[in-house]
Amino acid sequence: MGLSRLIDKRASTLRLASTARALTHNSPACQFRPRHLFRLSSPRNRSVSSRAQTGCGEVAACESGEVNNSTATGRADIRRLSSAATGPAAPRRPTPRGAPFSGSFGPTLLGSSNSSSNSSNRRTSHVRPLVPPYHRAPPTALRAFSSSAAAMVATKIDGTAIARKVRERLQAEIAEKKAVNPRFQPCLKIIQVGDRSDSCKLREKKNTPIPRYGTVQGRGARHADAQCPAATYVRMKLKAAEECGIACELIKFDESATEAELIARVVALNSDPAVQGILVQLPLPEHVSEYNVTSAVASEKDVDGFGTYNIGELAKRGGRPFFVPCTPKGVMVLLDEAGVDLAGKNAVVLGRSDIVGSPVSYMLKNADATVTVCHSKTKDLDRYLKDADVLVVAIGKPGFVRGEQLKPGVVVVDVGTNYIPDATKKSGQRLAGDVDFESASQIASQITPVPGGVGPMTVAMLLHNVVDAATQSFDAAKQRHIVPLPLKLLDPVPSDIAISRAQAPKPITQIAKEIGISPSELEPYGAYKAKVDLSLLKRLGHRRDGRYVVVTGITPTPLGEGKSTTTMGLAQALGAHVGRVTFANVRQPSQGPTFGIKGGAAGGGYSQVIPMDEFNMHLTGDIHAITAANNLLAAAIDTRMFHESTQKDAALYRRLIPVKNGKRTFSPVMLRRLKKLGIDKTDPDSLTEDEIRRFARLDIDPDTITWRRVLDVNDRHLRGIVIGNAPTEKGHSRQTGFDISVASECMAILALSTSLGDLRERLGRMVVASSKSGDPVTCDDLGAGGALAALMRDATKPNLMQSLEGTPVFVHAGPFANISIGNSSILADKMALKLAGTEPDEDPTSKAGFVVTEAGFDFTMGGERFFNIKCRTSGLVPDAVVVVATIRALKVHGGGPPISPGAPLHAVYREENVDILRKGCVNLAKHVANAKSYGVPVLVAINKFASDTPAEIDVVREEAIKAGAEDAVLANHWAEGGKGAVDLAKAVIAAAEKPKDFKLLYSLEGTVQERIEKIARDMYGAAAVEFSELAQKKVDTYTRQGFGNLPICIAKTQYSLSHDAELKGAPTGFTVPIRDVRMAAGAGYLYALAADIQTIPGLPTAPGYLNVDVDPETGEIDGLF
């Protein structure tokens, strides 16, 4: 019944009988064993059709669930099929023999060496399809062959056609992905050394590495007469790549190139995000180690697949190589396309090279074949060949395997590529495989020809690997997943340093990997901190920015209100608990406050940057670099004044531009000065006397020098000093002073620069004084701009650290908030926004991460400068503002007694007092109103203290919302880490989605005085501004010099909305006294000094350094807070 259904379903079934009869007639002993036409299926699948493949079609061999085990019935079935298949009208076609299997089907005939004569001992067989349906041919094309059939019996596995299909699929895949993401561009770089005319010749020495692709495969193989230069194969790759849409470039080196040069180029390509695949064309010259060069290729770009990692992973069961070697991969694709089911088959690999033999054996094993690896020295080789169901030959000897050595029905893959003499060919030679095709094709069921078999697949698989590499690269860029560190919360909460030390940080390389920073962009400084190269901004320039949140605060007390702690707690909540990629961007702390009264700035409790000691100390040396750059310029000013006063014009000019190698040459910075002076000359010897004088003499007026030396220490005694008192200075002394390093314009420039080039230009524009004729004298006039940029080059790279819960933190720049702009760097913000951003094909609403940055002190200081200076410069717009408030500070503004560091807190701060609190909320209301004036949603974060009561918290919420805040959320992140700020995080996400109507406080039109008054009136609540004579004079000078349209930074006390620290709450009607106005032309703003603000702090009676020490045994730092 099963056979009837089979005949009715497909007439091509008749070929089974044809095959049987043909084999019977062609066998001397009439020994027909048709079981090689089928393979066993799982007994659990009892109704599976099996098809025997031909060159252009397939037939159903059996559809019934079971086959009659009777010998007689078996013979009768075959006779019926055979008779039905005869007929002279049918066209003749050779019939393949299918794939072998262990087991039997039909009768056992005499002389069958591998079967039992007792049919009753055989199991019933189940068969299933062998090949996919694309090999089908129309029934009229199917016809059995007889003893006079054509010579070839096996079906050719057409590698050329399959490779063409692969390339077409790749072309379509690339086009499809480009349509979604235009940046998708697979790119392959091929490195070739010399012309390598010997790339298709094996070196005569045994075990010489064999060239890959289109060359003889096999250990020790030789063919000295072959002539097939590498250029041929490179052209094939280039052409195929171009057709598929892959960008492919050949990088050629001279034959004399050194190993170091090649490795350096490979390393550079490893670091290039636009390159997904690197291939080193072998062989390399004798003086270069092929192992060293190829091993330098990054595993994720090793599209050759022969790197240690990829081969090692391939050899492992369940290994995960990035790429599989191309020729072995091509072999497996050919077998798959031919419909060969390898599970349970005996697969013999003849050849043990690292290029084909070994890797293809791993792949066959992973496909559940039983694999035997043989080679030219294998004893009794014929026995293994006779047992092979699948044979892969890559031994490098032409015609080594012949048909009589093979098992009938074997599938043969010939990887050999040998050039043998052939007088009929124009070149005198032809390509031959390792298998004698004529004899083998009489026995095998399927076979790959040479050429046209494995060869075309090798290039196709290389292209496939390149496309896979590009896909992996693009997919990896999206897979940003932060693995949080668990917190073990203790009550009572230990000291900050104890908490930091108790948490084991993740290696900084792991943090970088989780957030999508490539190894080439990371510069580790120890195990837990690193710099990130600015090239990342270019690589991720296509991304939409993540969400941008700025954390500010109410007017603080000397104890601080936890703004840094809230910044860290919010970032930990978003990143470790809500599941958004989130960065905290904070300033680097100065050693002045760290060893003074304020302490460090890592946050506090369970919301910190770790390691805390590394964060609060030198970090990566950025502040030291700024100190060095600042003081170099200070030295250059006084040195130039000294030399100009002791030399005449000609002598000064000669010393400025000395003769080197018989010639004077202007340096690049000197050419800048010539351009500024309008002197269009490049030959130092061509300047006139007047031009020499103008060029050489800066003629600085000592009384106008604004540039001061800096030091990162609180030292009140450096506020006013006299320099130049040594006899060697010949009476050239003057009064000056020091600022703290973080108040240097160099620090502000670091914070406001948008690139290294921008930093260089800003440093050169810094005005340090005026000439006696009233012209501004710049850093570039002194010739120091380039040197300062060199000192600060590495400082431009943001520093990467982590929070207590393992979320990323950028620490970069640290300008003081009371005497400078008080914000971290634009570069860190831009970098974090890209890392937290979304790809063009991602949904920004659900996928966008967050960047939480902090603005120093209260909103009227750090927040106002964040908007009017930082955002004006960067072009970035925040999505939300968070104002941090504490009940303790609001009580101070409501009339509570003063708070002093080290002194016990008054009872009003430890007990509930709603009345004082409500009065103090006017300060909160003013800051909320100030923040809302910029058109951005505003939230209030109530930083919880243990003494806060529910009634007090309700008052703050009520007053905050009344003032216009979107919400006021209680946050307990100090005691609970990110867990305690989850509600705040959710409120921030909701606020960030709301529309914005962003606007700045003032335009740059009008006068300097008008801008200062705008800030004082609108932000502080002042009635008027009063300028001292000195301040007015400087404003007039800056305006005359062309600097009258710069933004404004007002340096004032942080303890009041006003200039007077004693005025609490939200004072009005006061006059702000401006005693001095200084210019930061490079940073791009003017800063006015209100009242008696100092630019270098002093130390208290009991400074913080009294508690700091080092454990001599462990090296751990104690006493930081």
* Count of all residues that appear for the chain in the document: 1121
- As a three-state string, the secondary structure of 865-921 is HHHHHHHHHHCCCCCEEEEEECHHHHHHHCCCCCCCCCCCCCHHHCCCCHHHHHHHH
Asked whether the predicted pLDDT for residue 68 surpasses 80, the reply is no
Evaluated on CA atoms 119, 123, 126, 131, the torsion sign reads: negative
- Residue 44: per-residue pLDDT: 34
304 is an active site residue: yes
Rounded CA gap, 91 and 78, in Å? 21
Which range is least confidently modeled, 97-111, 327-341, 366-380, 697-711? 97-111
Asked if 767 and 444 count as a contact pair (C-beta separation under 8 A), the reply is no
What average pLDDT score do residues 506-518 get?
A: 96
Asked whether the predicted pLDDT for residue 202 surpasses 60, the reply is no
Kind and range of the H or E element at 242? Answer: helix 230-244
Asked whether the predicted pLDDT for residue 60 surpasses 60, the reply is no
What average pLDDT score do residues 497-503 get?
A: 94
Q: What is the pLDDT of residues 83-138, one digit of tens each?
A: 333 333 333 333 333 333 233 223 222 233 333 333 333 333 332 232 333 333 33
At residue 409, the 3 state secondary structure works out as coil
Q: What is the pLDDT of residues 137-181, one digit of tens each?
A: 333 333 333 333 345 689 999 999 999 999 999 999 999 999 988
Domains in the chain and their CATH numbers?
2-150 (no CATH), 185-300+326-468 (3.40.50.720), 623-792 (3.30.1510.10), 1008-1090 (3.10.410.10)
Asked if 710 and 740 count as a contact pair (C-beta separation under 8 A), the reply is yes
Rounded CA gap, 823 and 817, in Å? 7
DSSP calls for 320-374? --S---HHHHHHHHHHHHTT---TT-EEEEE---TTTHHHHHHHHHHTT-EEEEE
**Angle 652-632-1075 from CA coordinates, rounded to 5°:** 105
- Residue 196: per-residue pLDDT: 53
Q: What is the pLDDT of residues 1008-1032, one digit of tens each?
A: 999 999 999 999 999 999 999 999 9
What average pLDDT score do residues 634-659 get?
A: 96
What average pLDDT score do residues 287-315 get?
A: 95
What is the band of 487 on the pLDDT scale with cuts at 50, 70, 90?
very high
Q: What is the pTM of this model?
A: 0.80
Of the candidates 62, 83, 77, 75, the one whose C-alpha atom is nearest the C-alpha of residue 108 is 75
Average pLDDT, the chain: 85
281 is an active site residue: yes
- Residue 781: per-residue pLDDT: 97
Rounded CA gap, 412 and 398, in Å? 15
* Furthest-apart CA atoms within the chain: distance in Å: 127
Q: What is the pLDDT of residues 395-427, one digit of tens each?
A: 999 999 999 999 999 999 999 989 999 999 988
Tell me which of 156, 177, 237, 301 is the catalytic residue: 237
Asked if 309 and 297 count as a contact pair (C-beta separation under 8 A), the reply is no
- Residue 74: per-residue pLDDT: 37
Structure tokens of 907? 């009872």
591 is an active site residue: no
Of the candidates 1000, 589, 1030, 968, the one whose C-alpha atom is nearest the C-alpha of residue 811 is 589
Rounded CA gap, 299 and 266, in Å? 12
- Residue 112: per-residue pLDDT: 35
The structure tokens 């060869």 sit at 455
CA 888 to each of CA 84, 495, 929: distance values in angstroms, whole numbers, following the listed order: 101, 20, 21
- Residue 1100: per-residue pLDDT: 80
Q: What is the pLDDT of residues 215-253, one digit of tens each?
A: 333 333 333 333 444 566 788 889 999 999 999 999 999
Asked whether the predicted pLDDT for residue 18 surpasses 50, the reply is no
Tell me which of 281, 446, 503, 1054 is the catalytic residue: 281
What average pLDDT score do residues 752-768 get?
A: 98
Rounded CA gap, 430 and 419, in Å? 5
Q: Which residues pair with 938 in a beta bridge?
A: 881
Tell me which of 158, 302, 304, 468 is the catalytic residue: 304
- Residue 476: per-residue pLDDT: 84
The residue ranking higher by pLDDT, 812 or 54, is 812
**Buried-exposed string 863-896: b where 16+ CB fall within 10 A, e elsewhere:** bbbbbbbbbbbbebebbbbbbbbbbbbbbbbbeb
Q: Which residues pair with 548 in a beta bridge?
A: 851
Residue 189: count other Cβ atoms within 10 Å of its Cβ: 23
What is the band of 14 on the pLDDT scale with cuts at 50, 70, 90?
very low
